[in-house]
């Protein structure tokens, strides 16, 4: 079985679905190959919600990309005629000299972003049920909030198909090779050829990108929904998403969407995964070892009752920044990988960058700090 396309997109999750959309809307013949299905729960783009924010403490160079992402999410909402982004605000809490507070303040200063500085006491009064530690500083970002993650993936997927992309599910890629000026992808259902390849395979990137071998680490991440009552944490009451930098690690969560549960997870930590297809998705004792103490200390009105859970995968680079680039040896191949647990909000702008490279061979987006050349290839 062999087909010829302008571009093949390997992996149609968060970033792959966005790439398919931006490629197809430019009139290119697009084939997306996905081993699972639309908005599946086997990778990294599922679990109801993802935080989106502008005062980016990880690096201020992300802010211009975020501004473009905000515009593109609004465009997708208009096309879908349904809300994808809820501006609930975001509360950042941590030591005044810690990475989170210093980084958010620096990003806000450099890019003229609107943020509100609060003391721990002011935050406790503003948000009952949130026991902000006395020694913490607080930054409240009014333009932040959360994305409905599965709806975002479905939106990009559906709009890609409407623009002419062909997306096939249940197909597992085995390998790819450069053939002349194009590529050939070998799958469990035959070979496919195209002029270009976009690799957005998430946790499966290392198995498909033989050279250069990137230093990527996949870790298992547990997410829990814990019981609550009384509506104090409900999004309709003005409760924000939150992120806490604690001595034990970094923790994040969301206002309650259903009035009965609050979603909470640890951003740091995680268990290394050798094979992403066989990750354990059941609850382990260690999954609750850090979350329960966090709930007791910071969210005392949230019960320690685990109502439901999810397991997702972080694909980490050594510096926790993304890789978005063209292949150093084959310019017809583009890749986006290593989103390190904070990438989903960027999916539309990364999809646009990948489409730029395929369509015109260049991009005006400021992504130089995400080039793969900054990472030394992993040794065998």
pLDDT in tens, 296-345: 999 999 999 999 999 999 999 999 999 999 999 999 999 999 999 999 99
Write down the pTM of the prediction: 0.96
pLDDT tens per residue across span 156-194: 999 999 999 999 999 999 999 999 899 999 999 999 999
Question: Of these residues, 309, 312, 326, 342, which one is catalytic?
Answer: 312
Q: Which of 22, 267, 309, 342 is catalytic?
A: 267
Active-site annotation holds for 359: no
Which long-range contacts (C-beta less than 8 Å, at least 24 apart) are formed by 284-289? 284/222, 287/222, 287/224, 288/224
Please say if 156 is a catalytic residue: no
User: How high is the pLDDT of residue 378?
Assistant: 52
Candidates 50, 89, 136, 220; catalytic one: 50
Is 263 an active-site residue?
A: yes
Which residue out of 263, 309, 321, 342 is catalytically annotated? 263
| Catalytic position from the list 68, 148, 327, 345 | 345
Domain topology for 90-143+218-314: D-Amino Acid Oxidase; Chain A, domain 2 (3.30.9)
User: What residues does each domain of the chain span?
Assistant: 4-45+150-216+319-374, 90-143+218-314
Residue 380 has pLDDT above 50, yes or no: no
Would residue 221 show up in a list of annotated catalytic residues for this protein? no
Q: Given the residues 42, 46, 53, 309, select the one marked as catalytic.
A: 46
Q: To 10 degrees, what angle do helices 63-80 and 99-111 make?
A: 80
Q: Among the options 20, 22, 25, 49, which is catalytic? A: 49
- SS3 per residue for the chain: CCCEEEEEEECCCHHHHHHHHHHHCCCCCEEEEECCCCCCCCCCCCCCEEEECCCCCCCHHHHHHHHHHHHHHHHHHHHHCCCCEECCCEEEEECCCCHHHHHHHHHHHHHCCCCEEEEHHHHHHHCCCCCCCCCCEEEEECCCEEEEHHHHHHHHHHHHHHCCCEEEECCCEEEEEEECCEEEEEECCEEEEEEEEEECCHHHHHHHCCCCCCCCEEEEEEEEEEECCCCCCEHHHCCCEEEEEECCEEEEECCECCCCEEEEEECCCCEECCCHHHCCCCCCHHHHHCHHHHHHHHCCCCCCCEEEEEEEEEEECCCCCCEEEECCCCCCEEEEECCCCCCHHHHHHHHHHHHHHHHHCCCCCCCHHHCHHHCCCCCC
pLDDT at residue 157, as a whole number:
98
What tens digit of pLDDT does each residue of 123-159 get? 999 999 999 999 999 999 999 999 999 999 999 999 9
**Can 46 be counted among the known catalytic residues?**
yes
CATH class of residue range 4-45+150-216+319-374: alpha beta
Query: Is 111 annotated as catalytic?
Result: no
């Amino acid at each position: 079985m062999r087909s010829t396309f302008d571009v093949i997109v390997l992996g149609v999750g968060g970033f792959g679905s966005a790439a398919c959309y931006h490629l197809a809307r430019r009139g290119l013949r697009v084939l997306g190959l996905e081993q699972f299905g639309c908005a599946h729960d086997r990778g990294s783009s599922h679990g109801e919600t993802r935080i989106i924010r502008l005062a980016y403490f990880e690096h201020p160079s992300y802010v211009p990309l975020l501004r473009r992402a905000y515009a593109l999410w609004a465009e997708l909402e208009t096309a879908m005629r349904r809300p994808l982004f809820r501006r609930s605000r975001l509360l950042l809490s941590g030591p005044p000299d810690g990475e989170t507070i210093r980084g958010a303040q620096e990003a806000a200063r450099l890019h003229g972003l609107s943020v509100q500085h609060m003391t721990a006491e002011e935050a406790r009064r503003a948000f009952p049920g949130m026991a902000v530690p006395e020694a913490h500083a607080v930054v409240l970002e009014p333009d932040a909030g959360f994305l409905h993650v599965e709806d975002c993936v479905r939106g990009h997927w559906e709009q890609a198909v409407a623009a002419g992309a062909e997306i096939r599910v249940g197909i597992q890629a085995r390998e790819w090779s450069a053939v002349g000026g194009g590529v050939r992808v070998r799958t469990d259902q035959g070979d496919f050829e195209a002029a270009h390849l976009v690799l957005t395979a998430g946790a499966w990137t290392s198995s498909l990108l033989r050279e250069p071998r990137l230093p990527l680490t996949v870790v298992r991440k547990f997410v829990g929904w814990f019981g609550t009552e009384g509506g104090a944490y409900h999004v309709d009451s003005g409760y924000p998403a939150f992120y806490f930098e604690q001595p034990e690690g970094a923790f994040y969560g969301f206002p309650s969407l259903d009035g009965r549960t609050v979603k909470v997870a640890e951003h740091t930590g995680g268990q290394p995964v050798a094979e992403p297809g066989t990750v354990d998705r059941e609850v382990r004792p260690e999954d609750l070892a850090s979350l329960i103490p966090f709930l007791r200390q910071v969210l005392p009105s949230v019960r320690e009752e685990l109502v439901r859970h999810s397991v997702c995968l972080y694909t980490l680079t050594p510096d926790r920044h993304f890789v978005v680039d063209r292949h150093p040896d084959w310019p017809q191949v583009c890749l986006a990988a290593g989103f390190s647990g904070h990438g989903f909000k960027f999916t539309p702008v990364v999809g646009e960058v990948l489409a730029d490279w395929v369509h015109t061979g260049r991009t005006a987006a400021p992504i130089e700090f995400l080039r793969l050349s900054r990472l030394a290839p992993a040794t065998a």
